[in-house]
Amino acid sequence: MANVLPPPILVVRPQHSARGRRFVVLILLAWMLSLALAFGLGHMARQWVDGLVDHAALASAKKDRDAQLQRIAVLERAEQVARAANGDLQQSLRDRQEEIAGLRADLAFYSRLTDGASKLEGLNVHGIHLQAGAAPRVYNFTITLTQTLKSGQVASGYVRLSVSGVQAGKLTTLAWSELAPNQDVSGLVFSFKYFQQIAGTLMVPEGFAPNRIRVEADAGGDMGRADQEFAWTDAIADQAAQEVSDVQH
């Protein structure tokens, strides 16, 4: 009997080619690369858009800031101009008020001087005004002299001062030579037809408390002498005396 060989055992095994595997890998890599590229492009696009927005907002903010700074500068300049104008106006008003007060004082003086009903007088001390000087114990004074006795006639002579007060607990009178040692001992010269204001400076010693000031004017002849005493405080407080030009017609 012949020997029959058994049939062969067949094993089915799947066969994967290397080309197929590479293809799959390439597809996966391409997909991943496309995802990465899409993500990167999206991120760059967002940054670019954000940059454009930020730049526009920054430019707008800078423009607004410049406009506000310019407006502030204009307002500050307007305020400075208004403040300067207001200061000039206030000073002008003060000057006008002082001028009006001076004119009123001059008008009252001229009215008394030219009043036909007034008694004709020879040399007369109309008043004195004292003002503290720049240095301690120094005073500037203005004396007003008048005459209505002889129209058109010149009154000339000398005027001098003396001051009485208290020093070291004692009543003391300071003569003109002590008050103004650098001036002529005879006094200050005057010469006028109707009135004149004479200015000068006196100095009182340290520790001296003045109470009264005496004005003596001497024109000689028909004009005679004039002697008038004033309280020191009244002379200091008298603001009505104003500087006027001498009448020499």
73 or 148, greater pLDDT: 73
220-248 pLDDT tens trace: 877 788 999 999 999 987 544 444 444 44
- b/e map 159-169, b = 16+ CB within 10 Å: bbbbbebeeee
pLDDT given for residue 103 in this prediction: 67
Please tell me the distance from the alpha carbon of residue 37 to that of residue 30, in angstroms, as a whole number: 10
128, 142 Cβ separation under 8 angstroms: yes
- Top pLDDT among 45 and 64 is at 64
Calpha distance 70→243 (Å, rounded)? 51
> Tell me, what's the pLDDT at 76?
86
Contacts of 239 (CB under 8 A, 6+ apart): 129
| pLDDT, tens digit (0-9, with 9 covering 90-100), for 132-144 | 998 999 999 999 9
On the question of pLDDT at 153 being above 60, the answer is yes
pTM (two decimals): 0.51
